[in-house]
Every structure is written in structure tokens, then in C-alpha cells.
Amino acid sequence: MASRAQNHLQKPPKQPPRILKKQWSIDDFEIGKPLGKGKFGRVYLAREIKSKYVVALKIIFKEQIEKYRLHHQLRRELEIQSSLRHPNVLRLFGWFHDDERIFLILEYAHGGELYKELRKFRTFSEEQAATYIASLTQALAYCHEKHVIHRDIKPENLLLDHEGRLKIGDFGWSVQSRSKRRTMCGTLDYLAPEMVENKAHDYAVDNWTLGVLCYEFVYGMPPFEAESQKDTFRRIIKVDLNFPSTPQVSPEAKNLISRLLVKDSSKRLALEKIMDHPWIIKNANPIGACWN
């Protein structure tokens, strides 16, 4: 699948044109190069023909949705992500379907996955890491105000736009709820202790994940990584947290990580206090983090 769309990429306008509110079909788009491949489908660069607006088109195969019984999860993902409006949350403009596929019209993140950047550089500078953590904190505070718990923040689900601004890009495990939940979901290295122990959980699972990410950004690996799943679970439950002796990592960074990776979820540092933490204040770029 290729067309002129991949050869005429423009810097996207600040706001999508009003034409992005209508009944869609695949004929409304020029399809460009593939951007990624997942378990249930693929993502392509695309351009809405009439407005010339560049988007990412995520194509999910209905056969896979049927096979894995993901109807409810997909519907919830669409409802949640389409309702969110924040500079650090990837926009979902709309969706449509045909006999075999479901199409999601997403904001195009030119910089791709943060995961690839982290693998490329192995670690981020404290300035870059703090800016990403501040961005995520702002986005999650907004989500929590809307009663949305993300539950699967990890580098693969974080994208960068053409200015290097971080965007949360996958809400597949998100839930909108005012009460505690019991579903164990997410990704092994980023699971909070209450999830591993199959206890009820709330918004604080996202705060835990911020601590895991902060550690990974500055040390290049998740804090509880082990040779087996069983050992990883054991380390998470014990909060077996070790800080390698690396001179590049400041005591302030370690302090923030330690205050987020706390087993008692009620004692984890609150999101608003993260923004006031000395490490964030000293290192984060307010522009890159979209501070209000």
C-alpha cells in the first residue's frame, strides 16, 4: 500500500480541519507507508484527500477482534481516547469500518515510538527524562480528572510528535471508573504490586508506572527486571529496588523514583507533587512538557 501521501509530508496544522467530522470510508484517504505492525493489525501514514491533513490510520482486522473477544475492550478504548483533549495525549479523530476491518483515524506522531529512542540511546539525560516525566504527569493528571486510569504506560505506548513532544498513544487497557478495579492488565515490568498480588487497584497504578519509567529513562532498564517472570513478580512485590552506582544519576532523581515506587499505593507521591519535586523543577523543559 503506497501512494503520494508518503512523499508530500507537510508539517501538520495545529488543529485538524473541520472536515474531520463526517462519515468516513477508506476512499477518503491516500494511504502511504506502513508505520507499524501490531498483534491485531497495522498502522499506515495517510492523508485525508480533501483537506490534505496527514494522519495515522490504524487498521484492525475484525477476525482478530472476534478471535480474542476484544469487542468490549476496543469499544472502551475508542470511547475513552476520542473524548480526551490534551497536548500530551494522542488524538483519536474518529473511526469507521467495512466488512473485514476497523479503521482508527489518529493524530500522526512524526517522531515515532519513544521505545525506539530509548533503545537507540539506552538512557536519556536527566533533562530529557525529567521533561518526559513532567509531560506524562500532566497527561495522567488530566486523565485522572476524567476518571480514566491508563494501566499500561510503557515506552512502546508513548510517541513523539514532530517537535519531540511526548504523547500517550495507546489506551487499550484503559478504564473509566470512579471505583477500584481488579483486572490484572498491562505489561510485566511495569505492573504495580497490587496488580501482581491480584488486589483491587486505582489511579495509583499509573503513579507507580511513572517511577518505573523514570528509573528506565536514567538507568536504561526497568528496576525489577529479572531472568524469569516469577522472579520479576517477586521483586515487584518486595519492592526490591536497587540503584546502580552511576555518577550521571543525581540523588534528586533517585529520591523521586523512591517516592513513587512505594508498595502502599496511598503513600505514592501524588501527581501534583511530582510537578513540584526538585528534580522536575531543576531539569524539565516547560515548553517540551507543555506546562500550563
For residues 124 and 115, give the distance between their C-alpha atoms in angstroms, rounded to a whole number.
Answer: 12
Report DSSP state, residue 6: G
Q: How far apart are the first and last CA of the chain?
A: 41
What integer is the mean pLDDT of 194-222?
Answer: 95
The pLDDT tens digits of the residues spanning 165-185 come to 999 988 888 888 654 544 544
Q: Is the pLDDT of residue 289 over 70?
A: no
Separation of alpha carbons 47 and 50, rounded Å: 9
For residues 56 and 287, which has the higher predicted lDDT (pLDDT)?
56
CA distance 210 to 217: 10
Instruction: Give dist(CA 198, CA 216) in Å, integer.
Output: 24
Q: What domains, with CATH codes, occur in the chain?
A: 4-107 (3.30.200.20), 113-283 (1.10.510.10)
Q: 240 catalytic, yes or no? A: no
Alpha-carbon span 89 to 82, nearest angstrom: 10
Check pLDDT > 70 for residue 4.
Answer: no
Q: What angle do CA 270, 273, 276 make, to 5 degrees?
A: 160
Question: In this predicted structure, what is the pLDDT of residue 21?
Answer: 53
- Bridge partner residues of 201 (DSSP): 181
Strands 29-37 and 41-48 come out as antiparallel
Catalytic residue among 152, 161, 189, 206: 152
Q: Whole-number mean pLDDT of the chain?
A: 88
For residue 52, what pLDDT is reported?
A: 96
